Amino acid sequence: MGTCHGEVLKAPDLEIPAFFLDAMENTVPKRRRTTWFLFFSHQALLICAMVRTLVLVPVYLRFISEETFGAWLAISGAMAILGLADFGLPGLMMQRIAHLLGARSFKLLGRTVVSALVFVSGLAGFLILLMWTVSPWLPGWFKLAQDIPDLVLAFRLAAVDAGLLLLVFTTGDILVGWHHPRPYMAGQAFSQGLGIMVTLAGLYRGWGVVALPGGLLTGTLLTLAVNLTSLGGLLRQGLPQGSLRFDFPVLRDVLKSASYLVVTRACRVLAFRAQGVIILTLISAPAVVVFEVTRRAALTVGDMVNRLPMSLLPGLAHLKGSQEEVKFQKIAMSLLLTAGVAGFLSEGGVFLFNREFVRLWVGEAFYGGAGLNFLVALGMLLSIVNAALFNLIFARGNFGLITLVSLVEAMLLVSLAVLWGSIWNLEGVALAAVVGGLVALSIQGLGIQKYFDLPFARSQLAQMGKGLGMLTLYLLVALPLTVKWPPQGWWQLSLGAASYLLAGSLMLVSCNSQVRQLVVAHFTFGRWGRLLT
């Protein structure tokens, strides 16, 4: 973790004003509420994103030509690439701040916050200035029509939004790590909703394509204002004298850790995006559509489940900083059990109902077949368990391991997808993702086992194995039923999926003591909350 991180563990600050210590002690019980609030806030933000990117697309096309909207999509893709320029600081700041609070190293906390904000502010300003300057040449670089109205202005607004988002995410993750997520998450949800309304109002008032980045920028500015106000209030609580200053050695240590995360993010983007490019190159463009449509439900369900370990990250990092290893082990095993059960139930649901979902959504011609569907569902299960392990390792600050895992998984996925895709088409590409997920699971499992008391972990994993065995039998019973009586409409599909999840959950609660203790006795979040406090 570097010398500064080691300093945290060796020398916690002692000369701290009493009222600030009181404020910090009042922060510790907020781990439980932080977990609750983050989980449901992530779901709300996911819904906002789905509204903006899926539900409102027909509305956009009513007011913007197809050519102009395609140009905007190209611009959006370029802005997504700019997101890699944040050096991984936002996610790292969440882990680092929570760790420093747990270790009670408040001087280093203040210097870390100030140093990171100074660096990110300069980086954001540089990116905005750069993209603003080159924007007149971008239509030619993207091979877009030069006469699309307001395209350059739309790109400039999008560049400002992308630059300010670096500050939004950094300040927001500092607040989350400080166990004050409400201003950031609530402000972000409200701001996104307001941004959607600004976009719609702009479209109706004839702004054209400018309405799209205009709405995004409105939400970003509001969220940034809320974050800065909230963070300023925390910093004014009474940090030790001399802590609120820029410290280059601290920044160097932060950037050293963040460098691992840059590689990690790049590998994950490569692994996710490369599949479509490989299919386009080896097979055809229509095959890309079939592949993406077939795995859409699995990606969405997996994204929703993976919000849970993300929500637990600040509390786990705080426990690591305060060296509460027993609590960390208990919450980690509860998380892995829940991830395994939720992943297996989700896998079965996708395998049983995805064909009907695709048929009702866009037509059965876009369904890739039972083989592809099974591999996609299996890949989703592996991604859910891997996400839980990833966040546990991240909370402990072992960035080298997660970088190694991401690099190996990405290289293996791409190479096997090229080889097997040329032999088995779409199924070969999906199988490559499964093998990559299995290898990542093995490396992460071996890497994290040293943090656990082995007899305790083995007993917990044995209970998890029993639960997954029962779910396998349940899936074998449910499969012929869905084949015999497939749902015929959205209501039947929704009812069938809900019944499947309810019956599977009740079976686990009644037959598995570990799941029963987790869900019934402590209502899952209550158990995690008590462990985190």
pLDDT tens for each residue of 48-96: 877 877 677 778 888 888 777 777 766 666 666 666 677 778 778 888 8
The domain boundary residue, chosen from 177, 211, 246: 246
Distance CA 92, CA 395 (A): 9
Q: Does residue 379 lie in a domain region?
A: yes
Mean of per-residue pLDDT scores for the chain = 80
Domain with 90, as residue range(s), is 31-246
Q: Is the pLDDT of residue 410 over 70?
A: yes
Same domain flag for 154 and 38? yes
Same domain flag for 331 and 219? no
Per residue in 409-435, is it b (16+ CB within 10 Å) or e — as a string? Answer: bbebbbebbbebbeeebbbbbbbbbbb
Q: Does residue 124 lie in a domain region?
A: yes
Same domain flag for 225 and 289? no
Same domain flag for 129 and 239? yes
Give the tokens for residue 1: 């973790």
Q: Does residue 21 lie in a domain region?
A: no
Same domain flag for 363 and 452? yes
Determine the average pLDDT of the residues in 141-166. Answer: 78
Q: Is the pLDDT of residue 14 over 50?
A: no
Same domain flag for 237 and 269? no
Q: Is the pLDDT of residue 531 over 50?
A: no
Q: Is the pLDDT of residue 33 over 80?
A: no
Determine the average pLDDT of the residues in 341-352. Answer: 89
Q: Is the pLDDT of residue 461 over 70?
A: no
Q: Does residue 511 lie in a domain region?
A: yes
Same domain flag for 205 and 345? no
Q: Is the pLDDT of residue 299 over 60?
A: yes
pLDDT band at 143 (very low <50, low <70, confident <90, very high): low
Closest CA to 328 of 426, 433, 457: 457
pLDDT band at 428 (very low <50, low <70, confident <90, very high): very high
Q: Is the pLDDT of residue 236 over 70?
A: yes
**Could you tell me which residue, 474 or 212, shows the higher pLDDT?**
212
Same domain flag for 207 and 277? no
Give the per-residue pLDDT at 24. Answer: 45
Q: Does residue 419 lie in a domain region?
A: yes
Straight-line distance from the first to the last Cα atom of the chain, in angstroms, rounded to the nearest whole number: 26
Give the per-residue pLDDT at 521. Answer: 43
Q: Does residue 8 lie in a domain region?
A: no
Q: Is the pLDDT of residue 523 over 70?
A: no
Determine the average pLDDT of the residues in 160-181. Answer: 88
pLDDT band at 485 (very low <50, low <70, confident <90, very high): confident
Q: Looking at the 3D structure of the chain, how many domains does it have?
A: 2
The domain boundary residue, chosen from 217, 246, 275: 246
The domain boundary residue, chosen from 178, 212, 246: 246
Handedness of CA 434, 440, 442, 445 (dihedral sign): negative
Same domain flag for 279 and 217? no
- Regarding pTM above 0.85, the answer is no
